[in-house]
Amino acid sequence: MHLSKSNVGKHSLFFAILGFVSLEVSIYLGWLSEPLWRILAAGFEAATIGAVADWFAVSALFYEIPIPIVRRHTNIIVKNRRKLTEGIVDMVTNKWLSPESIRDKLAGVDLGESLIQELNNPDTLGRLMDVLRRIILSLSDHLDSPKLVLWMQRILKNQMERLEIEKPLGEWIQEIIKEGKHHPLLELLLDEMTESIHKPETREVVYKKLKSALDAYSRQDWVKGTTVWIGKRTGGIDIDLLADRLIDIALVLAEEVGRDREHPLRQKLDRSVLEFAASLMDTGTGSREYVQNLKRNLILHKGAQSIIRQALNGAKETIHDHLSHAETSLMQFLIERTQRFLHELMADRRSVDAMDNWLKATLSKLLNTYHPEIGNIVRESLEKLDNQGLMEQIRDKVGNDLQYIRLNGAVVGGLVGLTIALIRWAWQA
């Protein structure tokens, strides 16, 4: 008959008692009278004693046995739980996982090479890059936050205040003026000005300004007022004609200046710009202070916040586009470059040894700092279990072996009983 491990102790006790009782009854009734049966009955008697004794010993570990005197020495695990817990903690922290044993184990392991090989595994590298990708995406979600915009604005303000652009700006302006690179820009501005002069709105502005000037002139005294009145009445002063004439003069002048690069107005403008550029290169001038204030006001202006926000938002969208999944061209490029770096690192034994030494030194430092936590983890894990849970875990791990202890008690007791009975029978014979 097949006996399961969990019931082998129970069955061994049952068979020992059954054999002992059966043989004793049979001998008493006279059914069995040969000396062999008495020897066998002695063996089953000793097996019964051994099985009962080991049953008591195993049960006393987990339960309280209500027998006078010996009762206080039962339920050993529960009664000695604190002592057992501290013993396990001491064994784990000071023997099995002591700092010295861990260091000895680490000394025989090449952590640097093992780490590089593991990172070089495509699956591991892919998971690592995916984690980094998700971290970057999570961080990029907050790129356009108002606090970051203000922080960037302060950073740019500090950088711009320390940035010396006045002298390079002056040199650059002198260069483009002397080389004539500014002419296309000036001609473009003149074309735009000509377009503006042609617009009816411009003539309306000129007309109103002339009318306002004549009205102001006529109000100065009665002579001027009379002169203006007579001029208007006789047609000598025609505001519409004056406005058209001024528009025509402005158009002609703009055309002449735009066509002739040697025009006096152009030359005068060039000289004024060159003087401004020269003043930028001299310390303590109003031009330099003007540019410095311009830099500061430009960065502090609310419009700068909008520009920074747009730039950060664009950066966020770009990051999301290039890191949306692991198959993007950027991610493939990063994986390829990382693999190449790992191959180069593996070929450099000095770098591998340096990484190995750093890892071991770091782990050793962490071990010295956090080694007591190993014992705390074991202690906390044991303390979380109630008495029933603790006994169930112990039975789950060693219950089968305890059952075989009971079986061994019955077998060994039976063999000892048979041996003693045989010796007694041989002696009497």
Q: What are phi and psi of 237, to 5 degrees?
A: -120, 105
185/191 Cα distance (integer angstroms) = 10
Q: CA-based Rg of the chain, rounded to a whole angstrom?
A: 52
Whether 118 is covered by a domain: the verdict is no
HSE-up of residue 55 (Cα within 13 Å, Cβ side): 17
244/251 Cα distance (integer angstroms) = 11
Separation in Å, CA 316 to CA 129, 184, 227, 306: 19, 38, 71, 15
Whether 124 is covered by a domain: the verdict is no
Place of tokens 């209500």: 66
Percent of the chain predicted with pLDDT > 70: 94
Task: Say whether both 289 and 189 belong to one domain.
Answer: yes
Whether 68 is covered by a domain: the verdict is yes
Q: How many domains does the chain have?
A: 2
Place of tokens 């980094």: 132
Instruction: Give the residue numbers spanning the domain of 202.
Output: 159-300
Cβ pair 16, 51 in contact under 8 A: yes
Q: Long-range contacts for 346-351 (Cβ within 8 Å, ≥24 apart)?
A: 346/113, 346/116, 346/117, 346/120
pLDDT of residue 348 exceeding 60: yes
Q: How much is the pTM?
A: 0.49
Task: Say whether both 295 and 164 belong to one domain.
Answer: yes
Read off the pLDDT of each residue in 201-222 and give the average, rounded to a whole number: 84
156/150 Cα distance (integer angstroms) = 10
Read off the pLDDT of each residue in 42-47 and give the average, rounded to a whole number: 88
pLDDT of residue 299 exceeding 80: no
Positive or negative, the CA dihedral 35, 37, 43, 44 is negative
Read off the pLDDT of each residue in 320-346 and give the average, rounded to a whole number: 87
Of 251, 274, 300, which residue sits at a domain end? 300
Fill in the amino acid letter for 337: R
Of 279, 300, 321, which residue sits at a domain end? 300
Whether 51 is covered by a domain: the verdict is yes
Comparison of pLDDT for 163 and 82, the residue scoring more: 82
Task: Say whether both 179 and 295 belong to one domain.
Answer: yes
Of 300, 317, 332, which residue sits at a domain end? 300
Q: What is the DSSP string of 164-210?
A: --HHHHHHHHHHHHHTTTTHHHHHHHHHHHHHHHHSHHHHHHHHHHH
